[in-house]
Amino acid sequence: MYQNDGLITLLISCPDQPGIVAAVSHFIFEHQGNIVHSDQHSTDRHGGTFFMRVSFAEDSFTLQEADLVRAFRPIAETFRMHWSVHYSRLRKRAAIFVSKLDHCLTDLLWRWKSGELAIDISCIISNHRHLEHITQMYAIPYYHFPVQREHRRDDQQRILDFLANRVEVDLIILARYMQILELPFVQAYPHQIINIHHSFLPAFVGANPYERAFERGVKIIGATAHYVTEELDEGPIIAQAVIHCTHRDTVEDLMRKGRDVERRVLAEAVRLHVEDRVLMYKNKTIVF
Amino acid sequence: MYQNDGLITLLISCPDQPGIVAAVSHFIFEHQGNIVHSDQHSTDRHGGTFFMRVSFAEDSFTLQEADLVRAFRPIAETFRMHWSVHYSRLRKRAAIFVSKLDHCLTDLLWRWKSGELAIDISCIISNHRHLEHITQMYAIPYYHFPVQREHRRDDQQRILDFLANRVEVDLIILARYMQILELPFVQAYPHQIINIHHSFLPAFVGANPYERAFERGVKIIGATAHYVTEELDEGPIIAQAVIHCTHRDTVEDLMRKGRDVERRVLAEAVRLHVEDRVLMYKNKTIVF
Amino acid sequence: MYQNDGLITLLISCPDQPGIVAAVSHFIFEHQGNIVHSDQHSTDRHGGTFFMRVSFAEDSFTLQEADLVRAFRPIAETFRMHWSVHYSRLRKRAAIFVSKLDHCLTDLLWRWKSGELAIDISCIISNHRHLEHITQMYAIPYYHFPVQREHRRDDQQRILDFLANRVEVDLIILARYMQILELPFVQAYPHQIINIHHSFLPAFVGANPYERAFERGVKIIGATAHYVTEELDEGPIIAQAVIHCTHRDTVEDLMRKGRDVERRVLAEAVRLHVEDRVLMYKNKTIVF
Amino acid sequence: MYQNDGLITLLISCPDQPGIVAAVSHFIFEHQGNIVHSDQHSTDRHGGTFFMRVSFAEDSFTLQEADLVRAFRPIAETFRMHWSVHYSRLRKRAAIFVSKLDHCLTDLLWRWKSGELAIDISCIISNHRHLEHITQMYAIPYYHFPVQREHRRDDQQRILDFLANRVEVDLIILARYMQILELPFVQAYPHQIINIHHSFLPAFVGANPYERAFERGVKIIGATAHYVTEELDEGPIIAQAVIHCTHRDTVEDLMRKGRDVERRVLAEAVRLHVEDRVLMYKNKTIVF
């Protein structure tokens, strides 16, 4: 796919004012970049925040990364930008966290293997041993980190230390990892932890959403992929999808239908994140 | 449509046990009825509740309504049934309640006028005068009943009295009627009041769901049609639908998209109710 | 909605090359325009066609329309652009063509009346008298132009003459107008005629799609809004949507379900066209 | 799931007339069967065809299979039924046919492994060796049967002989098997071969649907699971689903999106078939 092949992507947010697009596009043009995609969004017509994602071909661009950063800094300062630069050839390194359910994990692994997800999977981390066999098929290291409620913070600190020292990762995917992450963990990976919640949030926040959906008698169920923040199930939503259900569906049927939605939504969110399509605004996402 | 033309429909619920379908279908057969539709549902394989909706042609059936009731009673008692009988030629009489927004009202009126909704519309009742002109186009009486928060119970009692004495109705449709119904009102029309809530319940229970959906940054919005019970927004759900949205959608865009979903879901719920397709179980619906 | 209020929109297509976005955004910036929306698309990374839609506030922009055209021309020539400029305050004038079915017409009229569709409706034109009463409710002129198969070209020429001399329009909406338009008619309004076809094209091209969908036993039906070109049902597709169906749906049920989809898709396509969001490429649309 | 556990299912079709439901349900009742599900459908109110699917618990039923057949035969003859009986504990034996693409295969294997699909997978058959490694992971025999266009009939006869003599199967799943099946093959497995076509049929019948969808500029793509008959891509449709696309989607994007739809639709169709929910009428399916 040409879109992701050899692209440089700038992610920008700043107070809205005239001239931003002109300045950025002129910068790219004067260094021989050819814009392949560009998206803008303003939260408000007057006095809002401006967001931009612009991708251009790396091959013709005349600046190396360090030079790009140096040359772009004056523009960024003029417009008081938050900004970051991403090279599509530098694949993000992900750790996948799982517990006992395998549908999201196997789906991610298949998409990764087939080339759909342009990431490196550094390792699988689990509080159980159940899924170890699957990961052997894919030759991905599997690390078992038991977590117990009474000393969860210490148990998770061990994972943090492990990641800090042994397996550097840019992205943590909670693929039905049934453990609440402690504050130090969340803070160590701001907007780098993606969770799949098995309801169309904010409906059925918390545990056992399928049971509660069944109890309430809803006619649709869904799934939500979101960044993990300090507030449980309250992080910025990246992607959501739903499926219809009826009175004939038992809780098990809801779970079966839900598995299809969960894995699709999680994979979609990971793809959007990996392609640097997600910016943050308040507690919400801009998805370009 | 042959389905609705001259049909008798039995709605049945009772403790599950063998022989119910056999008894009911034999009863219909021995009186020359030809079953056109039949649906069953059991909440549980052992010791659950059994639900049945069976429709048969009226023309060949040999019993008049009173005889049908008398002849069926022994079967009903044997199986300890809750049951009711409905003749499709006897159209339900509905009152539509509105406030200022017209999209659900105009949609219902168009569907009624075009023959999609097999109801009689007895009147429109509103706490405002805004939509009076629309109803004049359709030659339907429009009654203005102001409601004030401080004496809402009295104000609503006036509507109740009016309906009891002047315009008998079997169904009340709250087509974006922005008033909470008081207990006596709800109790006067059990499972006969259908409301449209502009969110995919139980998300955004209460007021201003579009504003709150915008604040939360959800990627889908929706609408829910439900029976009104004593618990606000907690009644049995009849129909739900959703639509996708993005960061580009303002609150006004959500409202615009939502109007399309609201009117579709409300019309669907009314159609299901009018065709006697909805049974109740706990606080949930069985929709055949 | 601020998006449509006092905006100037440029629609541009040209051979792709570096510098286009920079040149256009610089032009807007130097004349004090503030970009509110901007979208780009390239059909191919190398040697493809580039498309751009950019909207900026009219109030701060320093050029009047004639000056804008004059000042932008050198840029347009440099990049060999096809381009056009649109002012949101100049509402498009539409004629709605209908036959006997009213669901699309009434839906468009409701959306127009409620402010959802920012168009002027100049007149309704029909080959029948059936729907005359509806349009009287909205105080829109209704013109009856009978069309007979044997001299359809002449009959349609009369409509063309009428539109040329009496009621100038920028947009023709075929809201279930059951007449094939003759070549001269199509050529008089290139990419200005929007039709709703009651199938998910290219399935069931031609007549009676619901009957044929029923015969084929499909599990989804749909609708397609497209520009009318010289090839029947082959014009560029603007919007499509579908709905599920089952073996229980009769042809009449398909028609009922289809009406909901048709009116939604047609309204969506008209909205996209009216907001100048549609560009053409080969026989396809770019919808920004 | 109680629904599939120890059930006997009768599938019935016959000329419609009064008394069928009564006779069938009485038969089940008199032999101590408890009806768990029952569905009926008539193609027409007068003189149509009647279809019925009824499931009842096996444990309390007093007849063994041979006795059931013998005892039910008089009823079947009275009503001139086509009928069949299915025991849920007797799992269908399936052969999965693949070529080079693995997404449908891996999805089916995962669902089978996780218990979602209650089938036995007897073998995988392919005209290529590409996917042999996957099937080793699941310990399922993989047989390579090369097929060449010039002697396709002979090549396929070898597969037929193999299936007849070595690996008895009740169901053949074409999981993106890119070979047209010859007439003798189709006739050997009437309504037992399920194919996934990568378009929303009847749109894009034949080869390369994604390329043609891209060329046509459709705004939705889809997939269709159908029984294979003698007419290519014309067999009875079991399930369909679609997904939206835009001008931004390349052919590769359509393929990526399509893979998600294909595997979901194929798995759904297999599930419906395996649960004996599909009856045939003309060239259409009744899906209970």
pLDDT in tens, A196-210: 999 999 999 989 999
Instruction: Kindly calculate the radius of gyration of chain C based on its CA atoms and give it in whole angstroms.
Output: 21
B189, C201, A20, D284: which is closest to C209 by C-alpha?
C201
With tokens 């960061």, the residue in question is: B247
User: Quick one: which of A239, A250, A247 has its CA closest to A217?
Assistant: A247
Smallest CA-to-CA distance from D23 within D95, D96, D92, D76 is with D76
**Where are the extended beta strands (E) located within chain B?**
7-15, 35-42, 49-57, 82-87, 92-98, 119-126, 142-144, 171-174, 193-197, 220-227, 237-244, 278-281, 284-287
Q: Is C136 on the interface with B (CB under 8 A)?
A: no
The answer on pLDDT for B141 being more than 60 is yes
Least confident of A132-146, A200-214, D60-74: A132-146
Does the beta-carbon distance from B240 to A247 stay under 8 Å?
A: no
> How many beta carbons lie within 10 A of that of residue A77, not counting itself?
9
Per-residue confidence (pLDDT) for residue A2, from 0 to 100: 44
Side-chain half-sphere CA neighbours of C143 within 13 A: 17
Q: For the sheet with D171-174, list strands across it.
A: D142-144, D119-126, D92-98, D171-174, D193-197, D220-227, D237-244
Question: Rounded to a whole number, what is the distance in Å from the CA of A20 to chain C's nearest CA?
Answer: 9
Residue B130 Rama label (left phi>0; alpha psi -120 to 50; beta): alpha
Instruction: Nearest by CB to D35, from B36, B40, B57: name it.
Output: B40
The reply to whether residue D110 touches residue A114, judged by beta carbons under 8 angstroms, is no
D219: closest CA among A80, C287, A148? Answer: C287
Which residue in chain C is spatially nearest to D220 when comparing CA positions? C240
**The two structure tokens encoding residue D30:** 């008199």
A window 46-105, beta carbon within 8 A of C: 57, 60
Confidence of residue C21 (pLDDT cuts 50, 70, 90): very high
The whole-number average pLDDT for the span C37-60 is 90
> Are D95 and D163 a contacting pair, CB within 8 Å?
yes
Model confidence at A46: pLDDT above 80: no
CA distance A217 to A214: 5
Size of interface B-C (CB pairs under 8 A): 23
Q: Are the CB atoms for A94 and A172 separated by under 8 Å?
A: yes
User: Does the pLDDT value for residue D283 go beyond 90?
Assistant: yes
Count of all residues that appear for chain C in the document:
288
Written as one letter, the residue type at C172 is I
Task: Measure C102 CA to nearest chain B CA, in Å.
Answer: 9
Instruction: Give the residue from D106, D108, D143 showing the smallest Cα distance to D128.
Output: D143
Q: D248 touching C, CB under 8 A? A: yes
Residue B236: cis peptide before it, omega within 30 degrees of 0: no
Q: Tell me, yes or no, if A250 comes closer than 8 A to chain D by beta carbon.
A: yes
| Residue type, position B271, single letter | R
Alpha carbons C256 and D233: distance in angstroms, whole number: 28
Q: Which residue of D has its CA nearest to C220?
A: D240
The amino acid occupying position A158 is R
Instruction: Name the residue in chain C with its Cα closest to that of B134.
Output: C137
Nearest to C284 among D236, D247, D286 (CB): D247
DSSP element (H, E) containing A41:
strand A35-42
> Is D114 an interface residue toward A (CB < 8 Å)?
yes
Report d(CA C219, CA D272) in Å as an integer: 14
The continuous run of DSSP H or E covering C144 comes out as strand C142-144
pLDDT per residue as tens digits for the range C154-174: 999 999 999 999 999 999 999
Contacts of A240 in chain B (CB under 8 A): 218-220
What average pLDDT does the segment B104-113 reach? 96
Entry field: residues in chain A = 288
The residue from C16, C102, C107, C233 that is catalytic is C233
* Optimal mutation site among B45, B204, B215, B220, interface A, most CBs of chain A within 10 A: B220
Residue of B200, B217, B284 lying closest to A247 (CB–CB): B284
From the CA of D46, how many Å to the nearest CA of chain B?
10
Band of residue A1 on the pLDDT scale cut at 50, 70, 90: very low
Share of chain A above pLDDT 70, in %: 98
Grade residue D137 by pLDDT with cuts at 50, 70 and 90. Answer: confident
**Chain B residues near residue D16 by CB distance under 8 angstroms:** 34
Residue D1 has its nearest CB partner, among A3, A137, A252, at: A252
Residue of D nearest to A271 (CA): D256
Question: In this model, does residue D279 exceed pLDDT 80?
Answer: yes
* Residue D36 contacts B, CB cutoff 8 Å: yes
Residue C277 has pLDDT above 80, yes or no: yes
Rounded to an integer, what distance in angstroms lies between the CA atom of residue C129 and that of residue C145? Answer: 9
**Residue whose C-alpha is closest to residue A259's, from B197, C277, C92, D115:** D115
| Closest by Cα among D221, D214, D217, D174 to D195 | D174
The pLDDT of C72-98, averaged and rounded, is 97
Q: Which residues of chain C make contact with A44, given a CB cutoff of 8 A?
A: 2
| A136-171 pLDDT, tens digit each | 788 899 999 999 988 999 999 999 999 999 999 999
Q: Per the CB < 8 Å rule, is D253 touching A1?
A: yes
Q: What is the pLDDT of residue A9?
A: 98
Q: In chain B, what residues touch A238 (CB-CB under 8 Å)?
A: 219
B235 and B195 Cβ atoms separated by less than 8 Å:
yes
Which subunits sit against C, judged by 3+ Cβ pairs under 8 A? A, B, D
- Per-residue model confidence (pLDDT) at position B2: 44
Residue A86 pLDDT exceeds 80: yes
Residue D198, exposed/middle/buried by CB under 10 A (0-12, 13-18, 19+)? buried
Does residue D39 sit in helix, strand or coil?
strand
- State how far residue A234 is from chain C, nearest Cα, in angstroms: 29
Radius of gyration of chain B (CA): 21
Task: Kindly determine whether residue B22 and residue D37, on different chains, have CB atoms separated by under 8 Å.
Answer: no
Closest CA of chain D from B251, distance in Å = 24
Length of chain B: 288
| Min Cα–Cα distance to chain A from B3, Å | 22
Chain C neighbors of B106, CB-CB under 8 A = 110
Euclidean distance between CA atoms D156 and D182, whole angstroms: 7
Active site residue A107: no
Q: What average pLDDT does this structure show over D100-123?
A: 95
Question: ipTM score of the complex?
Answer: 0.93
CA D61/CA D63 separation, integer angstroms: 6
Chain C residue numbers touching B262 (CB-CB < 8 A): none
Residue A61, both tokens: 């661009």
Region A209-217 average pLDDT: 97
SS3 A236: coil
B17: contact with D, CB 8 A cutoff: yes
Asked if C283 has any chain D CB less than 8 Å from its own CB, the reply is: yes
The answer, for B248 touching chain D at a CB cutoff of 8 Å, is no
Query: Dihedrals φ, ψ of A127, to 5°?
Result: -90, 5
Residue to test with chain B: of C110, C247, C255, C277, most B Cβ within 10 A: C110
Over residues D175-191, the pLDDT tens digits come to 999 999 999 999 999 99
Averaged pLDDT score across all residues of chain B? 94
Q: Closest CB to C18: pick one of A16, A21, A29.
A: A29
Residue in this structure with the two tokens 């079709």, named with its chain if needed:
D13
A18 in B contact zone (CB under 8 Å): no
Q: Provide the pLDDT for residue D1.
A: 37
For the segment A64-90, the average pLDDT, to the nearest whole number, is: 97
The size of the A-C interface in CB pairs under 8 A is: 62
- Spatial separation of the C-alpha atoms in residues C82 and C70, rounded to whole Å: 15
- If you measure CA to CA, which chain D residue comes closest to B41? D37
Contact B247 A201 (CB under 8 A): no
Share of chain C above pLDDT 70, in %: 98
* Min Cα–Cα distance to chain D from C53, Å: 14
Q: pTM here?
A: 0.95
Q: Are A93 and A168 in contact (CB under 8 A)?
A: yes
CA distance D61 to B223: 45
Task: Note whether C200 contacts D203, CB cutoff 8 Å.
Answer: yes
Asked whether the beta carbons of residue B202 and residue A217 sit closer than 8 angstroms, the reply is: no
Facing C203 at nearest CB: one of D200, D236, D238? D200
Average pLDDT across chain C, whole number: 94
The DSSP-derived string for B251-283 is HHHHHHHHHHHHHHHHHHHHHHHHTT-EEEETT
Q: Which SS3 state, helix, strand or coil, does residue D90 take? A: coil
Helices (H), ranges, A55-182: 65-78, 103-113, 132-137, 152-165
Is there a contact between A106 and A134 (Cβ–Cβ < 8 Å)?
A: yes
HSE-up (13 A, CA, CB side) for residue D192: 15
